[in-house]
């Protein structure tokens, strides 16, 4: 065991690395240190880095209690339970520690190692930072416990451990860091530690930092009162410099990351434009998100791709020839993925879903802008549509424990399910996670996404769907603006970003598109024009999965941000 540890460590220090800092990471369902898209992206990026043999190490926190396990009562009330899991089963504690100071106390941090093995056998490591050590007082032991738990003070402490602790642990392990990549602003404190390491030479420190922003609304950016920050943090830099870097009013982590990075990017072209408006004066690039093809492809489709597009996992560009896969075989793979999912849903709920009925999937974090209830805006219309051609809907998604609006959304979906009972089969699945996301994004027929524009920075679940020939039906925001060709790769809902119409009118258009395309384009094609449907499935693979994968994304990061 000890030998194994040492050889792993050799791997960690053998060449300069990209150090990827992320508050959450979704590598596999057994490691519950993620809450949603941001974490899944981090996991997928890490897996692609391993496949592509990019010298890369990820740094995150070890959440002993995870995010939370979601229980839903009969009326859709969310109850949260701490996740029970055993880190020892998946991670190896390293015989090293580092420390940070919080409110004058020394807080010890121990890293745990997780190894991601790429397709060619290359390894990439993830360091999970843990403060739950007997040397720390109880309060400090809990810092790394919950992902996004607690109040501003708790969050601040976590960000100190992640940013400052992360930078220190890499240094003490002897990792030569070529670039520090901040996946969202949570880790931006690392730049202050870096400043110290570079004798406060701003340019030297900036040269080493890359920042990816993910949030298209000002309120979504992490910020702290200076009073709180100065009470809790050790004085890493002088107060005047801190204010210069983080903003006058409060300590804004996004601003810090912007000011301290030599390369900044948004996660889709549209998101870059929105971010430029929000942060005028900064140069912002666009690297559109992707998903890890191999992770998000159902076994039945994997088999097909292995047969017709060998080495697609190393080179998802090979999807460009998806047209050579015979339709019958695609349909068989589809049938298998769908059948498995329907069995799964029927086991979990009493919805009685049917295998030959068009199935719409809607699964994502339950929060206001995602608009889970948008499709229920006109129940009479929905019932009319279902009378002509049947369809069923599967929902899933957790609300953040303090997002009361998000919790209300789930209760409303439950009310709508009751109202439509006997007319349209609808299920809301408990505890959305990676395993469930795999089932839903491969087993549905149509993947619906109707967020409020321009709130969806990118969105990635639709890309997972595309890898399995599930057709996207989405609002024109985020990645879909770059992927949609109407009636070819999927369908658009509502106006594009360049149409000058007011919010109310846009919403009306979105609703009209949602209902009329469902009624006149999607349902008739599914039931009556199977060949056209198959062609769109094929297009999803050859035009969407071809591009919207993390292999393409990571190659761009290497070329534009890391080199």
Ligand X SMILES: *Cc1c(COP(=O)(O)O)cnc(C)c1O
Report the residue number, 51 or 433, with the smaller CB distance to ligand X: 433
Report the residue number, 193 or 477, with the smaller CB distance to ligand X: 477
Site for ligand X in 462-481 (CB under 6 A): 464
**Is the backbone of residue 182 left (phi > 0), alpha (psi -120 to 50) or beta?**
beta
Report the residue number, 353 or 434, with the smaller CB distance to ligand X: 434
Neighbouring C-beta atoms of residue 336, cutoff 10 Å: 17
Binding track, positions 322-361, relative to ligand X; x by CB under 6 A: ----------------------------------------
Neighbouring C-beta atoms of residue 498, cutoff 10 Å: 6
Report the residue number, 447 or 557, with the smaller CB distance to ligand X: 447
Q: Please tell me the number of Cα atoms within 13 Å of 315 on its side-chain side.
A: 7
In the block, residue with structure tokens 């349209």: 424
**Which stretch, 77-85, 260-268, 336-344, 431-439, contacts ligand X (CB under 6 A)?**
431-439
Q: Does 433 bind ligand X (CB under 6 A)?
A: yes
- Virtual CA dihedral for 443, 471, 365, 210, nearest 10 degrees? 120
Q: Residue 148 Cβ, how far from ligand X at the closest point, in Å?
A: 13
Q: Does 461 bind ligand X (CB under 6 A)?
A: yes
Site for ligand X in 195-254 (CB under 6 A): none
Which residue of 437, 493, 536, 554 would you call a contact of ligand X, by CB under 6 A? 437
Report the residue number, 37 or 266, with the smaller CB distance to ligand X: 37
Report the residue number, 454 or 459, with the smaller CB distance to ligand X: 459
Residue 327 CB-density burial (10 A; 0-12 exposed, 13-18 middle, 19+ buried) = middle
> Which token pair is 323?
């047209």
User: Are 470 and 458 a contacting pair, CB within 8 Å?
Assistant: no
Q: How far apart are CA 55 and CA 229, in angstroms?
A: 34
Which residue of 146, 224, 362, 432 would you call a contact of ligand X, by CB under 6 A? 432
Binding track, positions 69-108, relative to ligand X; x by CB under 6 A: ----------------------------------------
Q: How far apart are CA 358 and CA 518, in angstroms?
A: 11
Alpha helices (H) in 260-326, listed in sequence order: 269-278, 293-296, 299-308
**Which stretch, 63-71, 141-149, 180-188, 454-462, contacts ligand X (CB under 6 A)?**
454-462
Report the residue number, 364 or 407, with the smaller CB distance to ligand X: 364
Q: Which helix (H) or strand (E) element contains residue 6?
A: helix 2-13
Q: How far apart are CA 393 and CA 431, in angstroms?
A: 17
Our measurement of the distance from residue 512's CA atom to the centroid of its chain's CA atoms, rounded to an integer in Å, reads 29
Our measurement of the distance from residue 116's CA atom to the centroid of its chain's CA atoms, rounded to an integer in Å, reads 18
Report the residue number, 272 or 464, with the smaller CB distance to ligand X: 464
Q: Residue 437 Cβ, how far from ligand X at the closest point, in Å?
A: 3
> 246: closest CA among 259, 227, 233, 265?
259
Q: 3-state DSSP helix/strand/coil percent for the chain, to nearest 5?
A: 45, 20, 35
Q: Residue 36 Cβ, how far from ligand X at the closest point, in Å?
A: 4
Q: Residue 37 Cβ, how far from ligand X at the closest point, in Å?
A: 3
Report the residue number, 70 or 136, with the smaller CB distance to ligand X: 70
Report the residue number, 258 or 447, with the smaller CB distance to ligand X: 447
Q: Residue 505 Cβ, how far from ligand X at the closest point, in Å?
A: 26
**Which stretch, 166-174, 247-255, 374-382, 429-437, contacts ligand X (CB under 6 A)?**
429-437
Q: How many residues bind ligand X (CB under 6 A)?
A: 12
Q: How far apart are CA 474 and CA 468, in angstroms?
A: 17
CA–CA distance from 249 to each of 224, 242, 246, 404 (Å)? 9, 12, 9, 27
Binding track, positions 10-49, relative to ligand X; x by CB under 6 A: --------------------------xx--x---------
* Angle (nearest 5°) at CA 524 between 351 and 496: 95
Q: Residue 289 Cβ, how far from ligand X at the closest point, in Å?
A: 8
Report the residue number, 191 or 450, with the smaller CB distance to ligand X: 450
Q: Which residues here bind ligand X, judged by CB under 6 A? A: 36-37, 40, 364, 432-434, 437, 459-461, 464
């Amino acid at each position: 065991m000890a030998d194994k540890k040492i050889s792993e460590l050799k791997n960690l220090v053998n060449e300069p690395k990209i150090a990827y800092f992320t508050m959450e990471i979704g590598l596999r369902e057994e490691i519950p240190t993620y809450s949603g898209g941001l974490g899944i992206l981090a996991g997928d990026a890490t897996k692609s880095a391993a496949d592509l043999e990019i010298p890369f190490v990820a740094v995150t926190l070890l959440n002993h209690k995870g995010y939370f396990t979601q229980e839903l009562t009969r009326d859709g009330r969310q109850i949260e339970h701490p996740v029970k899991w055993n880190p020892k089963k998946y991670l190896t504690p390293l015989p090293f520690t580092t420390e940070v100071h919080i409110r004058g106390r020394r807080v010890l941090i121990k890293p745990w190692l997780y190894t991601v093995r790429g397709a060619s056998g290359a390894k990439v490591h993830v360091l999970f930072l843990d403060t739950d050590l007997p040397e720390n007082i109880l309060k400090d032991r809990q810092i790394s416990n919950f992902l996004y738990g607690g109040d501003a003070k708790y969050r601040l402490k976590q960000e100190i451990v992640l940013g400052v602790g992360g930078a220190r642990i890499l240094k003490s392990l002897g990792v030569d860091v070529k670039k520090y990549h901040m996946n969202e602003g949570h880790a931006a404190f690392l730049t202050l530690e870096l400043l110290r390491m570079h004798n406060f030479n701003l340019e030297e420190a900036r040269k080493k930092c890359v920042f990816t922003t993910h949030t298209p609304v000002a309120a979504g950016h992490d910020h702290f009162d200076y009073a709180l920050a100065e009470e809790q943090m050790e004085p890493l830099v002088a107060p005047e410099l801190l204010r210069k870097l983080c903003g006058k009013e409060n300590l804004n982590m996004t601003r810090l990351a912007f000011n301290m990075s030599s390369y900044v990017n948004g996660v889709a072209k549209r998101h870059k434009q929105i971010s430029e408006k929000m942060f005028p004066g900064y140069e912002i690039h666009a690297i559109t998100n992707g998903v890890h093809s191999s992770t998000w492809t159902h076994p039945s489709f994997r088999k097909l791709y292995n047969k017709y597009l060998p080495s697609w996992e190393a080179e998802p560009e090979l999807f460009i020839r998806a047209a050579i896969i015979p339709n019958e075989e695609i349909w068989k793979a589809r049938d298998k993925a769908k059948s498995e999912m329907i069995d799964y849903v029927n086991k979990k709920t009493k919805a009685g879903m049917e295998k030959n009925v068009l199935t719409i999937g809607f699964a994502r974090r339950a929060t206001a802008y995602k608009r889970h209830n948008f499709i229920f805006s006109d129940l009479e219309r929905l019932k009319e549509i279902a009378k002509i051609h049947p369809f069923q809907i599967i929902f899933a998604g957790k609300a953040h424990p303090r997002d009361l609006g998000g919790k209300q959304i789930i209760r409303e979906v439950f009310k709508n399910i009751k109202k439509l009972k006997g007319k349209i089969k609808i299920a809301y699945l408990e505890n959305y996670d990676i395993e469930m996301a795999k089932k839903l994004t491969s087993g549905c027929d149509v993947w619906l996404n109707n967020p409020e524009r321009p709130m969806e920075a990118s969105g990635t679940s639709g890309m997972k769907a595309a890898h399995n020939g599930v057709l996207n039906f989405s609002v024109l925001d985020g990645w879909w603006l770059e992927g949609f060709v109407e009636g070819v790769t999927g369908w658009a809902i509502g106006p594009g970003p360049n149409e000058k119409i007011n919010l109310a009118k846009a919403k009306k258009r979105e609703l009209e598109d949602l209902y009329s395309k469902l009624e006149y384009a999607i349902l008739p094609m599914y039931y009556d024009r199977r060949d056209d449907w198959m062609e769109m499935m094929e297009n999803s693979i050859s035009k969407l999965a071809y591009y919207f994968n993390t292999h393409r994304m990571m190659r761009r990061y290497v070329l534009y941000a890391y080199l």
